[in-house]
């Protein structure tokens, strides 16, 4: 469980999936939006297929208009986040992404191709790329991160 939300976000940004209760999830969502993180709250009871997931993530995280709403495109957008000049995004520089997953055991339950663990792996790979030491083009260190929370009762 995450007891100190602000402290958690200031920690060394290693990738991890944290269990949180409903109140903590609400606090994390509020804090994340205020601090400039792209956020998505994914409910496994509604997100049963990879297409559902791609649509939910793209919509909630304000992916650009050219987003293809498929697994590969979702991974590319999550690992990039340099499209923050989208007209829907008005909070300035993107600090990273926050994903809160409700009903994790139901997530992607109708998919025959990918499952919840594949989604977590995609998020971990995106995080690793986002927090690479130096951007190859600009030479500026990347310090964006993806934080993942699973809401538990």
Look up the CATH architecture of domain 5-151.
2-Layer Sandwich (3.30)
Whether pTM > 0.85 for this model: the answer is: yes
* Closest by CA position to 42, among listed 129, 122, 113, 112: 122
Supply 54's token pair.
């791609």
How far is Cα 126 from Cα 139, in angstroms, rounded to an integer?
19
Using one digit for the tens of pLDDT, what is the confidence trace for 37-70? Answer: 899 999 999 999 999 999 999 999 988 888 999 9
Supply 142's token pair.
């990347």
How far is Cα 116 from Cα 33, in angstroms, rounded to an integer?
24
Using one digit for the tens of pLDDT, what is the confidence trace for 123-140? Answer: 999 988 877 655 555 655
How far is Cα 59 from Cα 11, in angstroms, rounded to an integer?
28
Domain ranges for the chain: 5-151
């Amino acid at each position: 469980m995450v007891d100190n939300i602000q402290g958690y976000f200031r920690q060394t940004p290693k990738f991890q999936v944290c269990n949180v209760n409903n109140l903590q999830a609400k606090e994390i969502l509020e804090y994340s939006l205020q601090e400039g993180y792209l956020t998505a709250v994914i409910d496994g009871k509604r997100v049963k297929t990879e297409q559902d997931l791609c649509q939910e993530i793209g919509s909630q995280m304000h992916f650009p208009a050219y987003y293809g709403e498929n697994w590969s495109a979702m991974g590319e957008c999550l690992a990039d986040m340099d499209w923050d000049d989208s007209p829907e995004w008005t909070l300035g520089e993107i600090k990273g992404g926050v994903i809160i997953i409700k009903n994790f055991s139901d997530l992607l339950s109708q998919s025959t191709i990918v499952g919840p663990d594949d989604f977590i792996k995609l998020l971990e790979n995106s995080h690793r790329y986002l927090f690479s030491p130096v951007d190859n083009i600009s030479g500026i260190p990347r310090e964006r991160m993806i934080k993942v929370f699973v809401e538990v009762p």
